[in-house]
Amino acid sequence: MERITVVKIGGNVIDSPEATARFVEAFAALEGPKMLIHGGGKLATRLAAQLGIESRMVDGRRITDRETLDVVTMVYAGLINKRLVAALSAAGCRAIGLSGADGDAVTSVRRAAGAVDYGYVGDIAEGGVNVELLRTLLDAGLTPVFSAITCDGRGTLLNTNADSVASAVAVAASRIAPTQLVFCFEKAGVLRDVEDERSVIAEITPDTYAALRAEGAISAGMLPKIDGALRAVASGVESVVIKQAEALLDAGGTTIRG
């Protein structure tokens, strides 16, 4: 099989119908086998408010109690996922929408309560991505579209970080064929100066990353994303690219290699 491309999008694409339409056109035009992982954007918060359910966040992370789990499942695995699948199908891409529960695609473990109890939040289990399911879908010419709702294998759905799902799916895909992971971000890439879109760092390796961190050249908010990208590369992913969704088909952005 030729190289697989795994793309992750977040709220900056999902929350804007215009941005979604542009992304769908570009993603459908990507050649070769591909997969899409999406987050949830702001729609779950709006729907929760309409239902009289308070949305609670800690450090930007959603507290997922039982009522909130119902809402995010409806929104992420339902409305957003099917909107994306329908749009991709209209663009000529044979998309199939999935949650982690479908075909045991992505299994996770409920996060233990610590200083904060995040509720029904999952962390990807070791070996938690069903490689053979991915292989079967890709061999059939289908494009899997994953929401970030996973399952613990015992019947409980869990709200899971979409970046983590994307990384785990990319690592699993690398067992099938060389795989590139693309994180679509609001900036043009990893920037030396967050105020200057021209200051994109073209490539990061473990050695250059250590130097960049020592210099304080990367904003603190980007460090977890780069750490995750380096772990994915160390686990078999060919490369990770951080770039804007609008530039999906273009060269550029920041490429992270081992």
Q: Summarize pLDDT for 203-249 with one digit per residue, the tens.
A: 999 999 988 888 888 887 788 889 999 999 999 999 999 999 999 99
- What are the DSSP calls for the chain, one per residue? ---EEEEEE-HHHHT-HHHHHHHHHHHHH--SSEEEEE--TTHHHHHHHHTT----EETTEE-B-HHHHHHHIIIIIIIIHHHHHHHHHHTT--EEEE-TTGGG-EEEEEPPPSSS--BSEEEEEEEEE-HHHHHHHHHTT-EEEE-SEEE-SSS-EEEE-HHHHHHHHHHHHTTTS-EEEEEEESSSSSBSSTT-TT-B--EE-HHHHHHHHHHT-S-GGGHHHHHHHHHHHHTT-SEEEEEEGGGTTSS-SEEE--
**Two tokens, residue 44:** 């779950």
Domain-embedded: residue 227: no
Domain-embedded: residue 186: no
Domain-embedded: residue 20: yes
Q: Is the pLDDT of residue 52 over 90?
A: yes
Domain housing 103: 4-181
Q: What is the CATH number of the domain that holds 109?
A: 3.40.1160.10
d(CA 10, CA 126): 24
**Number of domains forming the structure of the chain:** 1
Per-residue confidence (pLDDT) for residue 258, from 0 to 100: 86
pLDDT tens track for 70-102: 999 999 999 999 999 999 999 999 999 999 999
Domain-embedded: residue 191: no
Domain-embedded: residue 192: no
Q: Which residues are annotated as a binding site?
A: 40-41, 62, 159
Q: Do the beta carbons of residue 170 and residue 127 sit within 8 Å?
A: no
Per-residue confidence (pLDDT) for residue 216, from 0 to 100: 83
Contacts for 223 with CB less than 8 Å, ≥ 6 apart: 213
**Two tokens, residue 74:** 């409806």
Q: Which residues are annotated as a binding site for substrate?
A: 40-41, 62, 159
Q: Is the pLDDT of residue 158 over 80?
A: yes
Domain-embedded: residue 127: yes
Domain-embedded: residue 201: no
Model pTM score = 0.95
Per-residue confidence (pLDDT) for residue 95, from 0 to 100: 98
Domain-embedded: residue 140: yes
